[in-house]
Amino acid sequence: MKYIILSIFTFFVFQTSIAQPRWFIEGSFGINANFSVNRYQEDGPIPNSVYLYKKDAIGTASGVELKFRSGKKSAFFIGYNRTMNSAVKNLSETRNGVTVEVVNFTIRNINDFFIAGYERSLGKKWKNWKINAGLGIVYFNQQEISLEQDIFLVQERDFKYFNLVEACVLGGVEYGQMIDKKFELGFRVRAFYVFSAGYMESITATPVLRYHF
């Protein structure tokens, strides 16, 4: 048995030394453009009501992904991506002798994407370029402030209490360049479309640092 184990180990080391790495792990951090966080109407439609729901369309994007090379030009991946958009809110209202003040208060919208997909190089002439596509589940976390008649409400809507989850598809393009034997530096643009609700959620643009095992 020990000779079999030794043989397998020797074969593995030999293959690793002569073959291209098959596993990669990568991290990314950049910006996102979110198409849904500023679509709200903050005045009305209920008279004398205020809904502080909007966030800035430009926010941050980050993620970590694990990839397995399935061929010379292709790879499969699983990963986690997060986008965050925020806005600073101010409000001063008096209702029935009671003054409501919101001063320099930041509210956030966080989307957590759990994704899986396929990546492919564009060929010899475009070997540094890759396209990727996949499916995912997105969990929403939305902070909101509202004032209606005699009700002042500050809430954080999420999956646990409001079941905010949808299915999405994603697609993107990436340019990468090896900077040494193990590390690759790239830049990726990726779009997320929430098909279960029927709208484009966001586009991310992120530098990517990848480690080749």
C-beta separation of 42 from 54 below 8 A: yes
Cβ atoms of 35 and 201 within 8 Å: the answer is yes
What DSSP state is assigned to residue 20? Answer: P
- Buried b / exposed e across 112-131, counting CB within 10 Å, b at 16+? bbebebebebeeeeeeeebe
Q: Which domains does the chain have, with CATH numbers?
A: 20-212 (2.40.160.20)
Between these two residues, 154 and 16, which has the higher pLDDT value? 154
- How many angstroms separate the CA atoms of 204 and 170, rounded? 11
Mean pLDDT of 111-132: 92
Contact 65, 26 (CB under 8 A): yes
66-104: pLDDT as tens digits: 999 888 889 999 999 999 999 999 999 888 888 899 999
Contacts of 99 (CB under 8 A, 6+ apart): 92, 93
What share of the chain in percent tops pLDDT 70? 89
- β-partners of residue 134 are 117, 170
Buried b vs exposed e over 14-42: b needs ≥16 C-beta within 10 Å? eeeeeeeeeebebebebebbbbbbeeeee
Q: E strands along 35-97, which residues?
A: 50-52, 58-69, 74-95
pTM: 0.86
Give the closest residue to 133 by CA, choosing from 211, 193, 73, 182.
193
- What number is the average pLDDT over the span 165-177? 96
How far, in Å, are 16, 90, 170 from residue 112 at the CA level?
35, 27, 14
* Distance from C-alpha of 67 to C-alpha of 80, rounded to nearest angstrom: 12
Question: How many percent of the chain have pLDDT more than 90?
Answer: 70
